Amino acid sequence: MKRKTMTLVLAGILGASLLAAGCGSSSASSEQSSTDASSEASSAETTEAASSDSAASAETTVAASSGDEASATASSDLSGTVGTDGSTSMEKVISYLSESFMEEYPNVEVTYNPTGSSSGIQAATEGSTDLGLASRDLKDDEKDGLTQTTIAIDGIAMIVNPDNKVADLSLDQIKQIYTGQITNWKDVGGDDAEIVCIGREAGSGTRDGFETITDTKDQCKLSQELTSTGDVIQTVAGNPNAIGYASMADLNDTVKTLTVGGVACTEDTILDGTYQIQRNFNVITNNSKELSPQAQAFFDYITSDAAADLISKAGAVPVSKASK
């Protein structure tokens, strides 16, 4: 009887052990299944996210490509020639602007004919050029049918040979030198030598600006009248007794720039008005002549804020800075 009872107890204990082992195995299996399911879900989410990112990236690439293609198409669609004619003082400014424009529009050629301001205005009047260039403002008898657009302000610098001792002249002294009242450098602090006055030809915008500001209209006694700013600079550089006037945009170290009334010719002094000898750089258009698409694009470009840095690099003062 005791043996039978013991056998039953042992059997019960063994059954309980087996039952416990079975439950544990089932629980472990459930947990593993749950983990696997979670892992698969996470993997699916990661794959979906990666797919979305790839799609977004593809869309961005397509959009960027479309933008580049649109820009390239716009540039390639514009072709032909844009003619500019006029002021020799504006040569450097127009050169910087046209080179940059032609890089953006490789099928367009911008030409420049350095004939002088009056000739540029006449060309715009006759319609023989797209854009006239004038380093002076339109006179009353020139305004009919024309529009003047100022793109920059330029200082007219007084220049002498680098060996000249004189460093500063007043506006009145400049007037007296160019009208023949002062003829020797010693009278203004220089060596005992005759002053050689160099100026520009009739019709020059630089000459018109200089004579208007110094009140020397039709009074100048010039040793030489030259047809370009470059010629004036070269002549003064080669003559120790010469004096001339030239666009600030074209200055180089072959000549010495004088202060006028103690004020240097710089962008800052032009903007604040303390440098007295300054004038506008203007683009002249004919009101009755519609610009070609390429000429209109160039006009829009040189009158935009984007042109300001190029104008500054060329040595002139962007009109956008003066308006701020």
Tell me, what's the pLDDT at 321?
80
d(CA 208, CA 216): 10
Q: What is the pTM of this model?
A: 0.73
Whether residue 208 has pLDDT greater than 70: yes
- Coil vs helix vs strand at 161: coil
Q: What is the dihedral of CA 253, 100, 124, 304, to 10 degrees?
A: -100
d(CA 271, CA 6): 116
Beta strand pairing call for 224-226 and 242-247: unpaired
pLDDT tens readout for residues 108-158? 999 999 999 999 999 999 999 999 999 999 999 999 999 999 999 999 999
The sign one gets for the Cα dihedral 144, 146, 151, 155 is negative
d(CA 192, CA 242): 13
d(CA 131, CA 144): 16
Per-residue pLDDT, averaged over 236-254, amounts to 96
Beta strand pairing call for 168-169 and 317-318: unpaired
How many other CB atoms are found less than 10 A from the CB of residue 175? 19
Amino acid at 190: G
pLDDT tens readout for residues 157-199? 999 999 999 999 999 999 999 999 999 999 999 999 999 999 9
pLDDT tens readout for residues 290-304? 999 999 999 999 999
The interaxial angle of helices 205-214 and 117-126, nearest 10 deg, is: 120
The interaxial angle of helices 91-104 and 293-302, nearest 10 deg, is: 120
Tokens encoding 17: 């052990």
d(CA 144, CA 75): 35
For the chain, give me the number of helices (H) and strands (E)? 10, 12
Tokens encoding 188: 């203004």
Tell me 263's DSSP state.
B
CB 229 within 8 A of CB 247: yes
